[in-house]
Amino acid sequence: MKKILVVGLGLIGGSLAMALRGFEDFEVVGAVRSQATHDKAEAMGAADRLTFDPAAELPGADVVVLCQDPAGIIAFLEEHRDRFKPGCLVWDVCGVKTAVMEAAKCLPDGVDFIGCHPMAGKEVSGIANAEGTLFRNTHFIVTPGPYAAAEHLELLRRMADHCRFGDVIVTTPERHDQMIAYTSQLMHVIAVSVCADEGLFSCKGFEGGSFRDCTRVAALDPAMWTQLFTLNAPALSQVLEGLEGRLRQYRQVIQSGDRETLSALLAQASGRKKQIDLERARGDDVRPSF
Amino acid sequence: MKKILVVGLGLIGGSLAMALRGFEDFEVVGAVRSQATHDKAEAMGAADRLTFDPAAELPGADVVVLCQDPAGIIAFLEEHRDRFKPGCLVWDVCGVKTAVMEAAKCLPDGVDFIGCHPMAGKEVSGIANAEGTLFRNTHFIVTPGPYAAAEHLELLRRMADHCRFGDVIVTTPERHDQMIAYTSQLMHVIAVSVCADEGLFSCKGFEGGSFRDCTRVAALDPAMWTQLFTLNAPALSQVLEGLEGRLRQYRQVIQSGDRETLSALLAQASGRKKQIDLERARGDDVRPSF
């Protein structure tokens, strides 16, 4: 029997371990650090087997999935670089890819690191919130280095299928980080910025769906998102600056009372949104998987 | 039998007509302008009866619900001011209240206008998207003038119950407009500003739930939102300016690499969000109804 070692059973790692159970002839071993996580994971049946000692499992692991935060992943790679099984596949799940791919260069030849990012999540964290169904119909983004083995890409695709991801997107780490600055990191900065408004606690009773939806992800983990934002500072700063400019433009047009310009701006932006919703409904956004 | 006249069977008017059917001993009459809306409303059973001639119905209507856009409501009040039944209750559903309450001063004494705002909606419009269940567990905001009849407030409360609103919030038009600038209008400006980013069409495959949630309402009706934003320009400009400042602060801290300050900002904002989610879960935000 082959072995998948999932390191870190938080929301994503715990959900992945559950989703990967029963994958081909692999045993899924979950590495935890705390007794509380161990006991919860055991009660949930999150993995075939649990361990407090990932170092002891590494030499026998055919696939290693690193599910810590970026700093935890980078530290793990450096600490355990010589324990990985030759020929194994190592992948991670964190939200920045250039920095992690760079850190993975410390691995010896023959250990194949492929950056991954499951575009799934919740506004709550920890094994208690993990679900094996978390990844259904979400994007699985893969950023292989130039020397990634074809058999490992194929193995990843089969694992993604088993977890019921909606599609597999293959791209470069740089493009991933650029896109994610816009589609994910910017949404989180918006959410916390809205929640920092002094009106937050006095607006109860006046919220509709748009407010709940926009602010949902503000309940984030500050330590992890500090890492994610900092490790992607140039791309994130750029999209933030763009948004600031467009908000300023709306404010100035609204203040000036220029209804014609306001209406034209709204027509253009809402038209773009309707267009992309239409393309999505038609399935135009299905990406080729590898 | 008494009569409720619902003027304008779009998304909100159509949904309200459906939700109000069967209310006490009232007949629900829906006033439409186009044959297409008439036929769709008839097929959906949106009202007990339909008419193209609201002017003919007004003298016999005990309750009139104005469901046009703000300009349409204001024009209707001016055009039909002398046709309302003495002692009747008139309410509207639009998203700005000060301007509409001001316009309603043209009504003769004895016609009781109470501003209302059901905090429900969809990113699509029209009778075809209307549903009698649209208002369930949403807020029904009511802004009575200083001389509103107690019996009419009580009648509104019973109608809100019948439509299954989650609660009824009574406030002033000014406070409504201030709060709504933050909880609703700002969310719409954010959504269209995000969708105006040049990255919108190239980011397919990289969106997660936060992106879909934040941009959902960008598919708005430009003409209606031009009115709503313009009629509430001072309050909206103020919250926009606040958001611009906080986004700029995040960008500068991220660019500077000051992880400590970034982490502190994120901890504060996410703590506020977690706090308000907790209060909501405990039911602390239930407002006294009148």
Whether residue A286 is predicted with pLDDT greater than 80 in this model: the reply is: no
Nearest to A64 by CA among A54, A51, A78, A52: A54
pLDDT band at A283 (very low <50, low <70, confident <90, very high): confident
d(CA A178, CA A180): 6
| Tokens read off for A135 | 């990844």
- Distance from the B202 Cα atom to the nearest Cα atom in chain A, whole angstroms: 8
* Nearest beta carbon to residue B267 from set A183, A222, A265: A222
Does A210 sit within 8 Å of B217, measured CB to CB? yes
Tokens of A78: 């450096």
**Section A170-186 average pLDDT:** 97
Query: Cβ contacts of residue B278 below 8 Å, gap of 6+?
Result: none
Residue A139: enclosing H or E segment and its boundaries? Answer: strand A139-144
> Where residue A281 falls among pLDDT bands split at 50, 70, 90?
confident
What is the rounded CA–CA span in Å between residue B103 and residue B86? 18
**B-interface mutation test, from A184, A188, A250, most B Cβ less than 10 A away:** A250
**Beta carbons of A219 and B270 less than 8 Å apart:** yes
Q: In chain A, whose CA is at the least distance from the CA of B280? A: A204
Instruction: State the sign of the Cα–Cα–Cα–Cα dihedral B17, B20, B22, B24.
Output: negative
Q: Are B31 and B54 in contact (CB under 8 A)?
A: yes
Nearest CB neighbour to B214, from listed A196, A214, A259? A214
CB nearest B183 (choices: A182, A203, A237): A203
Distance CA A234, CA A17 (A): 33
Compare all CA atoms of chain A with the CA of B211 and give the residue at the minimum distance.
Answer: A183
B210/A266 Cβ within 8 A? no
Beta strands in chain B (DSSP E): 2-7, 26-31, 49-51, 63-66, 89-92, 112-118, 139-144, 167-170
Interatomic CA distance for residues B183 and B172, integer angstroms: 16
Give ∠ CA B126-B66-B164 in degrees, rounded to 5. 75
The proportion of chain A whose per-residue pLDDT surpasses 90, expressed as a percent, equals 92
Reference B267, options A188, A221, A187, A124; nearest CA is: A221
Nearest CA among B198, B249, B248, B243 for reference residue A178:
B198
Single-letter residue type at A129: N
How close is the nearest chain A Cα to the Cα of B200, in Å? Answer: 8
Token pair of A278 as six digits: 């239409």
Confidence of residue A122 (pLDDT cuts 50, 70, 90): confident
Residue B56, beta-bridge partner list:
none
Q: Which residue among B205, B209, B285 places its CB closest to the CB of A169?
A: B205
Cβ–Cβ gap B220/A270 under 8 Å: yes
Per-residue pLDDT at B286: 46
- pTM of the full structure: 0.90
CA angle, B209 as apex, B204 and B214 as ends, to 5°? Answer: 90
State the burial class of residue B289 (Cβ atoms within 10 Å of its Cβ: 0-12, 13-18, 19+): middle
Interface test with chain B among A170, A254, A258, A275, by most B beta carbons within 10 Å: A254
Whether residue A288 is predicted with pLDDT greater than 70 in this model: the reply is: no
For chain B, the average pLDDT equals: 95
Rounded Cα distance between B278 and B272, Å, is 10
CA distance B56 to chain A (A): 34
Of B220, B237, B265, Cβ closest to residue A255: B237
Q: According to the model, what pLDDT value does residue A284 have?
A: 57
Sign of CA dihedral B120, B37, B152, B74: positive
ipTM of the predicted assembly exceeds 0.95: no
Q: Cβ A250–B189 below 8 Å, yes or no?
A: yes
Residue A139 has pLDDT above 60, yes or no: yes
**8 A C-beta contact, residue A263 and residue B214:** no
| Consecutive H or E run containing A244 | helix A233-256
Give the model's pLDDT for residue A280: 83
Residues in chain A within 8 Å Cβ distance of B219: 270, 273-274, 277
Beta carbons of B147 and B89 less than 8 angstroms apart: no
> What single-letter DSSP state applies at residue B68?
S
Chain A residues close to B120, C-beta within 8 Å: 208-209
Burial class (CB in 10 A: 0-12, 13-18, 19+), A105: exposed
Residue of B nearest to A124 (CA): B274
Count of A-B CB contacts under 8 Å: 300
> Does the distance separating the beta carbons of A204 and B217 come in below 8 Å?
no
> Smallest Cβ distance to A269: which of B187, B218, B274?
B218
CA–CA distance from A39 to each of A32, A43, A135, B43, B240 (Å)? 10, 6, 24, 57, 47
Q: Per-residue confidence of chain B (290 residues) as pLDDT tens digits? A: 999 999 999 999 999 999 999 999 999 999 999 999 999 999 999 999 999 999 999 999 999 999 999 999 999 999 999 999 999 999 999 999 999 999 999 999 999 999 999 999 887 889 999 999 999 999 999 999 988 999 999 999 999 999 999 999 999 999 999 999 999 999 999 999 999 999 999 998 898 899 999 999 999 999 999 999 999 999 999 999 999 999 999 999 999 999 999 999 999 999 999 999 999 888 755 443 33
Report the phi/psi class of residue B87: left, alpha or beta, with left for phi > 0 and alpha for psi in -120 to 50. left
Please tell me which residue of chain A has the smallest CA distance to B177.
A206
Task: Report d(CA B146, CA A243) in Å as an integer.
Answer: 42
